[in-house]
Structure 1
């Protein structure tokens, strides 16, 4: 990882931390399903309730998401979004790619 990549990662981590602290209003050190939705919306994403539920199932422990799991979620969401956007040539939320490209892209994330 070069300096510019590190700088970008550091900036993202700080933004995610501030977002987490802001959303964790009860200061429990965790966020719940509805708080995760607020955090994701604050990052500029609009996800379906089904997708949000899938994310919660993947990253929560007993319905609560700890900061490290939140960061892992943010990293994955950002990487998958970048992968998709590179293939969404018309920027309309639609991408076409072959199965092998999908597997390679998602397995490296």
Structure 2
């Protein structure tokens, strides 16, 4: 009888600790979805996935922003995501050899006797 109770207590302890450990996990589900952006169906590359977590859909921000004509950048040092959108009438400078590099919103200012340049590249 003592061995049975000892085994029961050990079993309950292991089961309870497993439940506590599992409570720190996140269960998200990948699911297929079609994206329609401005009336046009967009196919998503295999590198991207759409997640469902607690009834909320999490979409890949780079896929969405680039299909909307915006630019996205991730700053690893500050763990910051920047999304920049320029109005349709704004001219951007681009280089045909490097299509992912854009120049826009450049501001010149005087700093003492020097000219400074600030902007988004």
Q: TM-score range with shorter-chain normalisation?
A: under 0.3
TM-score of the pair, normalised by structure 2: 0.25
Higher Cα radius of gyration: 2
> Higher strand share goes to which structure?
2
TM-score of the pair, normalised by structure 1: 0.27
> Higher helix share goes to which structure?
1
